[in-house]
Structure 1
Amino acid sequence: MSKLKTKLHLLPLGILFTLLTWQGEMMGVSNPPYRRFRIMTYNVENLFDTLHAEGKLDKEFTPLGSRKWDSRKYWRKQGQLCRVIAGVGGIAPADLVALVEVENDSVISHLTERTKLRRLGYQYVITHGEDLRGINVALLYQPHRFKLCQQDSLRVPPLSNKQRQTRDVLHIAGELVTGDTLDLFICHLPSRREGRMAERYRERIMQRLRTYTDSLFRTRQKPSIILTGDFNAWYPERCFTRDLNVLLTPGTSTHPSSRTENGKTTLVPDTLTAFSPHQLYLLTYKKEARNHIRGTYKFQGEWNQLDHFIISGNLLNHATQTPPITPFTTMHNCRIVDFPFLLQKRKEWRRSTPLPYLPWYVSPRRIQRPFTPNFRPLLLSTQTTRTYTQ
């Protein structure tokens, strides 16, 4: 994403946030307990193994390449990623972890089975796209809290033969312990380095995502949809406002419900607003972490927000239910992860400088209901790739 040189043994900053919170009535309990359901998204920046993949431009991430990417650096990076993911979970593992910029099954298998994350029992799904560098996206999930039902790779061809194929979008559908179906889309859209052509490509992918989400709005009884990942764009670019038709939630200064009098802006809390269940809303607009950090990606000394969480209105409509019985969240449950070790001071523009990303996380609550999985997760070989044409 950037031409900055990176110190490969340090952890790049990413995005994490806790998205869903819900409650439900239990048999004979008038005030059911809350339990969170935490979702995290994280651009782990160039998680490559040390081997060259035939036909891919990944030789810089080999022991003899420009990065001198050897086993020592590789396993140090894996250990630091483990530290972040485990830290976001806290007393219980993060339920869903969306990962951007991962190379293949090997690096995800190593992360989940050969670091301390192995104790947490994560399973995973990964795309197998045609990106020239071999970059993919993946999802880690807790199988006893998220029953995997469907997985698809959504592939949108480039606009011309002169343009490179970008990463596939990973679509996952799963059953929550409440019985609700959650649809999750993990994106890594074309880089901003490629100018106007990449911008048009991003817009085209967003149009396809809108078509796909509209189909889910028609077919799901209670559509619970989340789009996350690295969009390489920020609101209010056209790919958000026109192509995906995303709205802001109340509580942001540009939302229609906000009022400005005598130079002071009054924000209407999203807990007092009814949301359209068939509309997508952006939770991450102008979010701020500690130390006045406004964004998740640092380039030339400036923080930008390229990683996002976009959710369907049904996940925000908890205030109209008494008591809430389906998954819900608010914009205040969406946060940037700003662990101190992710914010170490460093000299810019040196070879030893790590590319700064910050993660997001969302902490939902859920009913305390037993859930015993009686299914087999889908094998990677069963994954369907859907290619959209003009």
Structure 2
Amino acid sequence: MDKKDPLNKYHTVAFYNLENLFDTEDDKYTLDNDFLPESDRNWTPKRYEKKIYKLGTAISGVGPEGANDAPVLIGVAEVENKKVLGDLIESKQLVTFDYDFVHYNSPDERGIDVGLLYQKEHFEVTYSESIPILLYTDEGLRDFTRDTLYVNGLLNGESIHVFVNHWSSRRSGINETSQKRIKAAQTVREKINTIKANEEDPHIIIMGDFNDDPTSESVQNHLMDTDLYNPMQKLLTIYTGSLNYKGEWNLFDQIIFSTNFFDYKKGTHSFASADIFDEDFLTQWKGKYKGNPFRTYTGRKYLGGYSDHFPVYIRLKFNT
């Protein structure tokens, strides 16, 4: 069905960690030296263009089979700057959908940020801001990480509040870093409470790479409440997830929303379904990692794939 067909009442909202979408130019203010043409990874313009092409292909297809529409909203993580987002939305696979994006530079030392792509036909931004996650070391020094992106806008005329997250990694150990993700969850929860204090029955979508599963303490105890629903909790199994680490699946990539998306009122959106977009073309097709996300690099070895994460998505029905 054509994306401009008014009878197309279903819309995809997605999230995708793009695995180090860096340009090939040196930014003297960030630690981007691993992604330069002269680096050990040999990150050349040709490889960059190939990744843009592949990510555009993936994003344009996110959704259920036969939907024939790209996401109206897609949150992204691990993007270096506005340039890479501009190149992505101007790619051959995405340019016809007329995307724009919201992006702020974060203080993350590696220079990776989050962003929100949106189809201008369906979404109008009314307000946006970058929300810092205030972390400190034992010595009282600021521990910089990715900001959370907050965007308020009109999705097909309905006011929607969107949060795009990329919480602190587990690289130094799950328990050693858990407080960082708890702090991120608390920060988002505080903003949600502020919105609810100023607006009656707001529609809220929280998406991102939480570096925690739906059942982890940060999500369950510090973000979730009776006003939110997490459809991703049912999608994580021993056989499925959005990323695989040492043979075990995780579902760090999640989309959570306010429970009023279960209501059916004219001029609003209601929840229809949720899934992991793990189509065969996004997977390793052979070897011991067969079925895992087909990533761009493993360590410093170039594989030429899409990302080390699968996209996740929800489908919303617009009630007419």
Q: How does 1:74-223 map to 2 (within 5 A)?
A: 74-88=48-62, 90-160=67-137, 161=140, 164-177=143-156, 179-195=157-173, 196-223=175-202
AA of the residue aligned to 2:172: E
C-alpha contact (below 8 Å) 1:286/1:294 kept by paired residues: no
Separation (CA, whole Å) in 2 of partners of 1:334 and 1:243: 23
Residue equivalent to 1:335:
275
Residue equivalent to 2:29:
55
The answer on 1:42 being equivalent to 2:16 is yes
Q: CA deviation at 1:76?
A: 0.3
Q: CA deviation at 1:157?
A: 1.9
Separation (CA, whole Å) in 2 of partners of 1:125 and 1:33: 28
Separation (CA, whole Å) in 1 of partners of 2:115 and 2:172: 24
Counterpart secondary structure, 2:172: helix
The answer on 1:65 being equivalent to 2:39 is yes
Counterpart secondary structure, 2:84: helix
Counterpart secondary structure, 2:53: helix
C-alpha contact (below 8 Å) 2:41/2:302 kept by paired residues: no
C-alpha contact (below 8 Å) 2:267/2:318 kept by paired residues: no
TM-score normalised by the chain length of structure 1? 0.71
Separation (CA, whole Å) in 2 of partners of 1:133 and 1:107: 15
AA of the residue aligned to 1:71: P
The answer on 1:284 being equivalent to 2:232 is yes
Instruction: Judge which range, 194-203 or 342-351, deviates more.
Output: 342-351
Separation (CA, whole Å) in 1 of partners of 2:168 and 2:103: 18
Structure 1: stretches of 5+ with no match in the other structure: 1-31, 248-275, 369-390
Separation (CA, whole Å) in 2 of partners of 1:116 and 1:237: 36
Separation (CA, whole Å) in 2 of partners of 1:92 and 1:236: 31
Separation (CA, whole Å) in 2 of partners of 1:67 and 1:78: 17
Counterpart secondary structure, 1:116: coil
AA of the residue aligned to 1:329: F
2:205 to 217, 222, 226: 226
Separation (CA, whole Å) in 1 of partners of 2:276 and 2:283: 12
AA of the residue aligned to 2:109: L
C-alpha contact (below 8 Å) 1:180/1:222 kept by paired residues: no
C-alpha contact (below 8 Å) 1:102/1:135 kept by paired residues: yes
Counterpart secondary structure, 1:151: strand
Counterpart secondary structure, 1:144: coil
Q: How does 1:303-318 map to 2 (within 5 A)?
A: 303-318=249-264
AA of the residue aligned to 2:127: Q
Separation (CA, whole Å) in 2 of partners of 1:133 and 1:346: 32
Counterpart secondary structure, 1:329: strand
Separation (CA, whole Å) in 2 of partners of 1:114 and 1:339: 21
Counterpart secondary structure, 2:76: strand
Counterpart secondary structure, 1:206: helix
Separation (CA, whole Å) in 2 of partners of 1:73 and 1:356: 16
Separation (CA, whole Å) in 1 of partners of 2:8 and 2:31: 47
TM-score normalised by the chain length of structure 2? 0.86
Separation (CA, whole Å) in 1 of partners of 2:214 and 2:95: 37
Q: Deviations along 1:290-339, whole A, 9 cap, x unmatched? A: xx742101111221111111111111233xx6xx5521104xx0111121
Q: Deviations along 1:230-278, whole A, 9 cap, x unmatched? A: 000113222122211x15xxxxxxxxxxxxxxxxxxxxxxxxxxxx6xx
Residue equivalent to 1:326:
268
Q: How does 1:231-242 map to 2 (within 5 A)?
A: 231-242=210-221
Counterpart secondary structure, 1:192: coil
C-alpha contact (below 8 Å) 1:297/1:357 kept by paired residues: yes
The answer on 1:357 being equivalent to 2:305 is no
Separation (CA, whole Å) in 1 of partners of 2:214 and 2:101: 30
C-alpha contact (below 8 Å) 1:42/1:99 kept by paired residues: yes
Residue equivalent to 1:302:
248
Q: Percent identity between the aligned chains?
A: 30
> Given the superposition, is the C-alpha separation of residues 104 and 346 from structure 1 closer, same or farther in structure 2, using an over 3 Å criterion?
farther
Structure number with bigger Rg = 1
Counterpart secondary structure, 2:19: strand
Separation (CA, whole Å) in 2 of partners of 1:66 and 1:164: 27
Greater relative contact order (Cα < 8 A, sep 6+): 1
Counterpart secondary structure, 1:133: coil
